Amino acid sequence: MNNYQKAIENSNIVSKTDINGVITFVNDEFCNLFGFTKDELIGKNHNIVRHPDTPKEKFEALWSSILNKQVYKTTVKNLSKNRKDLYLNTTIIPILDEFENIIEFVAIRYDITNEVMLQKELEEKQRIIFLQSRMASLGQMLANIAHQWRQPLTELNLSLFNLKKSFESKDKKDFDTFYNSSKNLILGMSDTIEDFTNFFNPQKQKDKFLLNLSISEALKILSRVIEDEKISIKFDITKDLELLGIKNELVQVLLNLISNSKDAFNEHKILKKEIILKSYQDSEFIYLEFIDNALGIPKDIENHIYEPYFTTKYQSSGTGLGLFISKVIIENSFNGHILYNKTNNGSKFTLKFPLQS
């Protein structure tokens, strides 16, 4: 038993307290990690290493469990003597006497500070990449707004000119016609702003929504681009497929895929540009297939397409974030997957969403 105890004390961070939480024992690993000497710790309350960020409720749950003679396991954020944050996987065990009374508590810990800090660093990098992607999307959206407005502005200018002429000639019928035409053009431009405003609305709460509505919204935002580029969109859509996730983020994924296809069509000088959107479901997943005939992605770079900042486009026209962000969105916001396959004459991206019970 002594050898077993020594093995635990030499390989873990161990402390003991009485039933009031006063420290009665700490091993050398505990002192080395927290920066205290044994004399500074023995006889002190264990909250000497408590981190001020830790919620009061967490300690209430801890004490409730161990006073009920239950083993308590958790990850605890502690504070060292030199005010350094420490993260420890902690197991607290109540020790009972022969009468089943608690006589002390033994806490065995494992330091995971490096792992937690690495995770925080990765999350911060991902947050920065998301912001960069959002700014890139904003630039694209502003360009799309300008593109969407160019023709209506020309038509509005002509309509206002005719409106003035009909007013001067006192032709009420023509005046009403050109007035209504101008009003409808302005309403259309206003709807364009509404579409883009909705897209950039910071929505983080997962909600249920219909897949075909996201498809319609993405196509509406890029309608002028699709028309000008003469891209044919074909549909094989199953109606009423309901997803749980963040609708605006799925719209962003579709915008990324359409934009990539548009660029590939132009790069490869494809004359008959086609995109097929197909949705269906089986017993486990809802699927959305996005298929184009833009000749596909070269085999030697297929494994890199989801890496951040990887792009095959000119630096001025690509950020290398589109597919990376799309993958993160599908995995994080929908618990799904995005898969790539090369077809005979293009690319197929399959989005898989788990069915909601």
CATH code (residue 92): 3.30.450.20
Q: Which amino acid is at 88?
A: L
Q: Which of 60, 53, 104 is nearest to 78 (CA)?
A: 53
Exposed / middle / buried, residue 86 (Cβ in 10 Å: 0-12, 13-18, 19+): buried
pLDDT at 128: 78
| 92 domain residue, yes or no | yes
Strands 85-96 and 285-292, bridge-based pairing: unpaired
| 275 domain residue, yes or no | yes
How far is residue 292's CA from residue 260's CA, in Å, rounded to a whole number? 10
Q: Are residues 103 and 211 in the same domain?
A: no
| Domain end position, chosen among 113, 135, 156 | 113
In this structure, what token pair is assigned to residue 15? 């402390």
How far is residue 308's CA from residue 230's CA, in Å, rounded to a whole number? 30
Residues 6+ positions from 210 with CB-CB distance below 8 Å: 239, 240, 241, 242, 243
Q: Are residues 94 and 223 in the same domain?
A: no
Q: Are residues 340 and 237 in the same domain?
A: yes
27-31, 102-106, 156-160, range with the lowest pLDDT? 156-160
Count of structural domains, the chain: 2
How far is residue 312's CA from residue 326's CA, in Å, rounded to a whole number? 17
CATH code (residue 343): 3.30.565.10
How far is residue 252's CA from residue 229's CA, in Å, rounded to a whole number? 20
Residues 6+ positions from 29 with CB-CB distance below 8 Å: 9, 10, 12, 13, 14
pLDDT at residue 329 tops 80: yes
| 300 domain residue, yes or no | yes
In this structure, what token pair is assigned to residue 96? 């009972």
> Cβ(96)–Cβ(69) under 8 Å?
yes
Q: Which of 150, 161, 160 is nearest to 188 (CA)?
A: 150
Q: Are residues 100 and 220 in the same domain?
A: no
> Cβ(42)–Cβ(23) under 8 Å?
yes
pLDDT in tens, 138-160: 666 676 667 667 767 777 888 88
pLDDT in tens, 67-102: 999 999 999 999 999 999 999 999 999 999 999 999
| Domain end position, chosen among 88, 113, 138 | 113
pLDDT at 215: 95
| 81 domain residue, yes or no | yes
| 196 domain residue, yes or no | no
Q: Are residues 224 and 98 in the same domain?
A: no
Q: Are residues 105 and 245 in the same domain?
A: no
| Domain end position, chosen among 53, 84, 113 | 113
Q: Are residues 219 and 346 in the same domain?
A: yes
Dihedral of the alpha carbons of 137, 139, 140, 141, in degrees to the nearest 10? 80
Q: Are residues 83 and 225 in the same domain?
A: no
Question: Whole-model pTM?
Answer: 0.55
- Mean pLDDT (whole number) for 182-195: 74
| 85 domain residue, yes or no | yes
Domain span holding position 317? 203-356
| 161 domain residue, yes or no | no
> Cβ(333)–Cβ(205) under 8 Å?
no
Q: Are residues 103 and 209 in the same domain?
A: no
Q: Are residues 232 and 341 in the same domain?
A: yes
| 159 domain residue, yes or no | no
Q: Are residues 106 and 217 in the same domain?
A: no
How far is residue 329's CA from residue 252's CA, in Å, rounded to a whole number? 9
Looking at residue 356, what DSSP letter applies? P
Q: Which amino acid is at 348?
A: K
Q: Are residues 100 and 214 in the same domain?
A: no
User: Which residue in the block uniquely carries the two structure tokens 């990376």?
Assistant: 324
